[in-house]
């Protein structure tokens, strides 16, 4: 059980790092998914079909996948403080630039560049948090971090809906205002990054010598005890555990992206106005954020990981299947189904990252996280392309949602296959790192 001293140290660390990184992740997710609201008018203005819109939405992930491992290598070389700040500024510029696209080609190009920019953020922060948070506190740190990304859906819909109403003001279309306004905060955050982030605990001026010493020794002890400590990065990737976990993340992401990029379009098809779409689309995001926090807290409190990933995924898959069956029925039943799907799929994510980081050694962690995340995000291209093509073929989103639900269910069933021999339950009794 942690002492008052240890809990006090982790509160300092959490309040220093988690709010800034989490708010940056909120902007990161907002700038990645705001095209889903912009599409309500942008697609017609640029002459994009559902298939070509899916191509542009997916172009982000071509580069996002390709550049993640090189990006994390750069993080290790230059240090998180400088590298994360650069990444935030880069994606802010690219997101703002989306306002100036004129057709399919420029849309694909700017989305590709945004993928390059954002490729270094999530895997970099996931690795960075393992350098600052012992396992006892890491799940909740990731839970708060992830919840802010889900919050992007809560504020993003209403915000983007309001910006769409500025259509024609100063000669700028409403969909252009979305990218102009929502890209600027990233550029501002980048200015503060080097003032807030330290590369490692030994450099933290907000901790005293005793606190730095305890945190360094605790983290070093955990790294030395990693179950895969004698495995190189390439050998670790060849193990069934990492291979199956990579596949699980790929299947989770298929469901998340299959829903996220088309949710506003599906909601509008239920008969809502553009403004109402913005507010209604926030409802599943609220449930997703709640799932992240509640599941992560439960997992840290009990020390159990496997069931806290598997069960939410089964719930999420069932939600997508229910949404597919009810898309032509009552609109609010559909929203409830999407909310259930978001609660489950997003709720599994913070705990999921406790699994590979417990198995990978310190030297393999940065590359391993980037590898799993990059392979998983292939779905960011595949999912919107699949949904767009099937919609244009069938005239409905029912079949794509049914397929996405089955995919997520399979991911949930694979979790115990990956972890049954590698991870044991470790009782955790921490009350949390942020005071209630």
The pLDDT of residue 306 is above 80: yes
Does the residue 359 lie in any domain?
yes
Residue 177: its pLDDT value, please? 96
The pLDDT of residue 154 is above 60: yes
Model confidence band, residue 430 (pLDDT cutoffs 50, 70, 90): very low
Residue 359: its pLDDT value, please? 63
Closest CA to 90 of 69, 63, 108: 63
Q: Are 178 and 160 in contact (CB under 8 A)?
A: yes
Full residue range of the structural domain in which residue 229 is found? 4-419
Average pLDDT, stretch 296-325? Answer: 91
Strand partners, 360: 228
Residue 1: its pLDDT value, please? 55
Average pLDDT, stretch 152-173? Answer: 87
Model confidence band, residue 428 (pLDDT cutoffs 50, 70, 90): very low
Does the residue 425 lie in any domain?
no
The pLDDT of residue 12 is above 80: yes
Q: Percentage of residues in the chain with pLDDT exceeding 70?
A: 89
Residue 234: its pLDDT value, please? 62
Average pLDDT, stretch 348-364? Answer: 73
Residue 436: its pLDDT value, please? 26
Does the residue 424 lie in any domain?
no
Higher pLDDT, 237 or 362: 237
Higher pLDDT, 122 or 333: 333
Write the CATH number for 109. Answer: 1.20.1250.20
Average pLDDT, stretch 76-90? Answer: 90
Model confidence band, residue 62 (pLDDT cutoffs 50, 70, 90): confident
Does the residue 429 lie in any domain?
no
Average pLDDT, stretch 365-372? Answer: 70
Does the residue 430 lie in any domain?
no
Model confidence band, residue 362 (pLDDT cutoffs 50, 70, 90): low
What domain count does the chain have? 1
Residue 271: its pLDDT value, please? 86
Does the residue 20 lie in any domain?
yes
Higher pLDDT, 121 or 359: 121
Does the residue 136 lie in any domain?
yes
The pLDDT of residue 431 is above 80: no
Task: Give the pLDDT confidence of 125-140 residue by residue, as tens digits.
Answer: 888 888 898 877 877 7
Residue 104: its pLDDT value, please? 86
Residue 173: its pLDDT value, please? 93
The pLDDT of residue 96 is above 90: yes
Average pLDDT, stretch 198-218? Answer: 90
Task: Give the pLDDT confidence of 232-290 residue by residue, as tens digits.
Answer: 556 666 677 778 888 999 999 999 989 988 888 899 888 888 888 888 888 998 899 88
Average pLDDT, stretch 34-47? Answer: 88
Average pLDDT, stretch 304-331? Answer: 92
Residue 225: its pLDDT value, please? 66
Average pLDDT, stretch 365-371? Answer: 68
Residue 434: its pLDDT value, please? 29
Does the residue 280 lie in any domain?
yes
HSE-CB of 176 using CA atoms within 13 angstroms: 14
Residue 50: its pLDDT value, please? 77
Average pLDDT, stretch 151-164? Answer: 84
The pLDDT of residue 384 is above 70: yes
């Amino acid at each position: 059980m942690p002492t008052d001293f240890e809990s006090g140290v982790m509160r300092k660390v959490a309040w220093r790092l988690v709010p800034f990184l989490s708010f940056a992740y909120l902007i990161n997710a907002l700038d990645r998914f705001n095209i889903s609201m912009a599409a309500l008018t942008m697609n017609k203005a640029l002459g994009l079909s559902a298939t070509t819109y899916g191509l542009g939405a997916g172009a982000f992930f071509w580069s996002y996948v390709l550049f993640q491992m090189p990006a994390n290598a750069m993080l290790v070389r230059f240090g998180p403080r400088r590298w994360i700040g650069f990444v935030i500024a880069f994606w802010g510029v690219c997101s703002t630039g989306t306002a100036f696209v004129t057709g399919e080609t420029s849309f694909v190009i700017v989305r590709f560049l945004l993928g390059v920019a954002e490729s270094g953020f999530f895997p970099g922060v996931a690795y960075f948090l393992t350098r600052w948070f012992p396992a006892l506190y890491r799940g909740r740190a990731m839970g708060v971090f992830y919840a802010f990304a889900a919050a992007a859906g809560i504020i993003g819909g209403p915000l983007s809906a309001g910006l769409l109403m500025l259509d024609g003001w100063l000669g700028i279309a409403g969909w252009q205002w979305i990218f102009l306004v929502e890209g600027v905060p990233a550029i501002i955050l980048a200015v503060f990054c080097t003032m807030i982030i330290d590369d490692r605990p030994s450099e933290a001026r907000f901790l005293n010598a005793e606190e730095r010493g305890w945190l360094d020794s605790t983290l070093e002890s955990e790294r030395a005890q990693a179950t895969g400590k004698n495995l190189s990065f390439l050998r670790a990737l060849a193990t069934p555990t990492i291979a199956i976990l990579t596949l699980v993340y790929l299947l989770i992401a298929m469901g998340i992206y299959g829903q996220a990029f088309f949710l506003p379009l599906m909601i509008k098809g239920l008969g809502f106005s553009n403004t109402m779409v913005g507010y209604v689309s926030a409802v599943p995001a609220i449930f997703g954020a709640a799932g992240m926090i509640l599941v992560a807290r439960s997992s840290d409190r009990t020390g159990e990981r496997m069931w806290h990933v598997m069960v939410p995924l089964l719930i999420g898959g069932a939600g997508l299947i229910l949404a597919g069956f009810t898309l032509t029925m009552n609109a609010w039943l559909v929203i409830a189904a999407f909310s259930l799907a978001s609660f489950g799929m997003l709720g599994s994510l913070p705990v999921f990252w406790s699994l590979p980081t417990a198995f990978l050694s310190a030297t393999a962690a940065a590359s391993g996280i980037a590898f799993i995340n990059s392979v998983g995000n292939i779905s960011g291209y595949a999912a919107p392309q699949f949904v767009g093509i099937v919609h244009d073929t069938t005239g409905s989103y029912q079949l794509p949602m049914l397929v996405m639900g089955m995919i997520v269910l399979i991911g949930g069933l694979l979790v115990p296959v990956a972890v049954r021999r590698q991870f044991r339950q470790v009782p955790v009794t921490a009350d949390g790192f942020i005071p209630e």
